[in-house]
Amino acid sequence: MLNVQQKREFVDGSKAALPLIVGAIPFAILFGTLAPTSGLSALATIMMSVLVFAGSAQFIVLALIAAQAPIEMILLTTFVVNLRHLLYATALVEHVKHLPLHWRAILAFGLTDESFANMSQRYMQQDKSNAHYFYLGSICCFYCTWVSFTILGVTLGSLIPDMSNWGLEFAMSVTFIGMVVPYMNSKAMISAIIAAGISSLTFAHLPNKLGLIISALIGVAVGLTVTKFKNKQLSYE
């Protein structure tokens, strides 16, 4: 059983997740509502939240399913989009490497943008002996919310008929716009975004949604080049 301190860490972790959860609830509902109109069954929609548990990847996959992309392309895109979690794991590994493997596996499963935000704050404090319970609390709270509100969204979607005629696919575009704009805070990032946008139009007619991956890679390459160039200029000064 948990001792007092472990319990407190668990509760504190759940509380720390609350503000992020409030922000995520509309997306869980939106995901549950949109998924069936993109062509995914209700069961698969719920299972995706239960097993994959990766918000932005889940939305991107919906867009690809709606565009009838082949499964290989969908999996490749999942890989590329979720690669950023490697960064999070690299930042956190120092604090979890002493834990037994099953603990590390559970914490890895729940490593999302939100739990990373919670944990990078928690690990700044002095006493870290039971911080993994804080991590677990944050994950549990977030996971239960994500899954239950996905189910709510699926239910709402099935109650309201003809939702596919409402132009809900635009809800996805506008969600992505809201996610991209906050990134536009440096020359490198803006160049990457513009390059990806132009390339996506240029390669729009390639088969199998191949244009998506190519445009993303071009965007990343442009972003890296601009960063390198800026660093060089700085070192000359």
| CA-based nearest residue to 52, from 132, 143, 131 | 143
Interaction of residue 131 with another protein, rule CB under 8 A? no
Interaction of residue 2 with another protein, rule CB under 8 A? no
Interaction of residue 160 with another protein, rule CB under 8 A? no
Least CB distance from residue 4 to another protein, whole Å? 27
Least CB distance from residue 148 to another protein, whole Å? 18
Interaction of residue 200 with another protein, rule CB under 8 A? yes
Interaction of residue 21 with another protein, rule CB under 8 A? no
Which long-range contacts does 214-218 make (Cβ < 8 Å, 24+ apart)? 216/80
Distances (CA, A) of 194 to 101, 187, 222: 42, 11, 9
Interaction of residue 147 with another protein, rule CB under 8 A? no
Residues in region 216-235 near another protein by CB under 8 A: 216-220, 223-224, 227
Nearer to another protein, 4 or 167 (CB): 167
Q: Are the beta carbons of 135 and 112 closer than 8 angstroms? A: no
Amino acid at residue number 191: S
Task: Give how many residues touch another protein by CB under 8 A.
Answer: 88
Residues in region 64-123 near another protein by CB under 8 A: 65, 71, 74-75, 77-90, 92-94, 96-97, 101, 104-105, 107-109, 111
| CA-based nearest residue to 172, from 76, 33, 79 | 33
Listed ranges 5-13, 140-148, 154-162, 171-179: which one lies at the site for another protein (CB under 8 A): 171-179
Nearer to another protein, 3 or 26 (CB): 26
Per-residue binder mask for another protein (CB under 8 A), 24-63, x = binder = --x------------xxx-xx--xx--xxxx-xx--xx-x
Paired tokens of 1: 């059983």
Interaction of residue 144 with another protein, rule CB under 8 A? no
Interaction of residue 181 with another protein, rule CB under 8 A? yes
Scan for tokens 């244009």, then name that residue.
Answer: 211
Q: Are the beta carbons of 82 and 111 closer than 8 angstroms? A: no
Quickly count: other Cβ atoms within 10 Å of residue 151's Cβ: 17
Scan for tokens 């239910």, then name that residue.
Answer: 155
Question: What is the C-alpha to C-alpha distance for residues 145 and 133, in angstroms, rounded to an integer?
Answer: 18
Nearer to another protein, 17 or 57 (CB): 57
Report the alpha-carbon angle 102-106-109, nearest 5.
135
